[in-house]
Amino acid sequence: MIKFVLDPKAGIPYYRQIIDQIKFGIASGNLKAGERLPTVRALAVELAVNLNTVSKAYNELEIQKILETQQGSGTFIGKANISIPAKEKSRKLRSICNEFITIAFSYGFSAEEIISEIQKNDKK
């Protein structure tokens, strides 16, 4: 199971962020076919968003055959094979790095300190 996190500063609608996280979760192997997702209500409560937001994300993924809903049983990851195009992965990494760098610089860390810490974490 993945931990869903919404970023209000991203400029991306919440339902879209949920969709992207599920797709990236599947592509990375963190979500497997047949794995059960939280109910619409449970995820809406966890993320503090409207039920319709989660429902819209789940419905769009059902239309794309990525999710399967079984009445009374829940919503599950389908058998769809998802791969994220290199361009999309690169765009996402750039976005994550830009946010990280902005925060790190706001705390006064230098580029060298940031790089050194990343290299330390890479060796773990």
Q: Say which CATH topology domain 14-77 has.
A: Arc Repressor Mutant, subunit A (1.10.10)
| Residues with Cβ within 8 Å of residue 97, at least 6 apart in sequence | none
How many percent of the chain have pLDDT more than 90? 68
Using pLDDT thresholds of 50, 70 and 90, give the confidence band for residue 21. Answer: very high
Confidence label for 121 from pLDDT (cuts 50, 70 and 90): confident
- Decide: 26 and 82 in contact? Cβ < 8 Å: yes
Residue range(s) in the chain whose domain bears CATH number 1.10.10.10: 14-77
Q: Check: CB of residue 80 under 8 Å from CB of residue 65.
A: yes
Is residue 10 within 8 Å of residue 17, measured between CB atoms? yes
pTM: 0.74
Residue with tokens 């199971």: 1
